[in-house]
Every structure is written in structure tokens, then in C-alpha cells.
Structure 1
Amino acid sequence: MDFFRVTGLSFSQTMPMVWRILLVLDRINTNHIPDLSIEDLPLAYRLRSHGSSRFLLFSTSNSPLIL
């Protein structure tokens, strides 16, 4: 929910890939890194428009941040 509050996007404006990333980050936050927050998302991803008010998250690096 923090992602949508911070970005101002609605659920329907995000592509399925965004949901997968958010779910993985939530699971990492719950199980491994409890202090991970939505403010850390720009370290690995950039939000980009994909057509008519739809949005995707694109990786900002070719190397994985979490090993």
C-alpha cells in the first residue's frame, strides 16, 4: 500500500510485473530485511510510463542487488 500512497498511482494503473516486484519485496521485508521500505525501491527500480496511464518498474542495474 505504501507504494501506491507514495507514487499516487491506482491499482489499475500498474502492470502485472509491478505487482510481482511488490510481492517479492514484501516477502523479503517480512522474512529477511525488516527495515526494507518503499523508499529503498529507487535503488533498484525506476518507474516508467507504458502507454495510456499504465506504469512499469524497470531495473536500474544489470547486477542483482540482493544475492
Structure 2
Amino acid sequence: MTTNNHKFPPGFDEAKIKSIIEHYENQTEDEAVAEDETIITGKQQTMMQIPNKLVPVVRELIAKNQA
């Protein structure tokens, strides 16, 4: 018998998590590259490198923006 003590984000359950894992485990390298390129070229988000020490500050700004 297993005990399920996992806490999932809102809208997620064990089945959804397994589905996501399966998607990425079965994705070809070309599919992964295409997915990454789609994300990078999207007009709603920007990918950038920031110093690790600034990550908490950036996360806080994102959280405030989403609130």
C-alpha cells in the first residue's frame, strides 16, 4: 500500500502530472527544439538570462504582476 502525500498545484492531479511526464519522455529532439523555438518566438513572453542572486527579486515582481 502506498500513501499519497503529494500536494499538487491548482488544476493538477496525479494523472495530469503523469501525462506531462509521458509527453516529455516520449518527445523527440526535433519536437523539443520546435517547442522551445515556439516559446522563444512568442510575443507574450521574453526569455532572458539574469544573475542567480536576482532570481528571488524577479519572482517577487512576477508574483506582484500576476496578482
After TM superposition, the score normalised by the length of structure 1 is: 0.31
Select the structure with the greater relative contact order (CA < 8 A; seq sep ≥ 6): 1
Q: Which has the larger radius of gyration?
A: 2
Whichever structure has more helix as a proportion of its residues is 2
With the length of structure 2 as denominator, give the TM-score of the two structures: 0.31
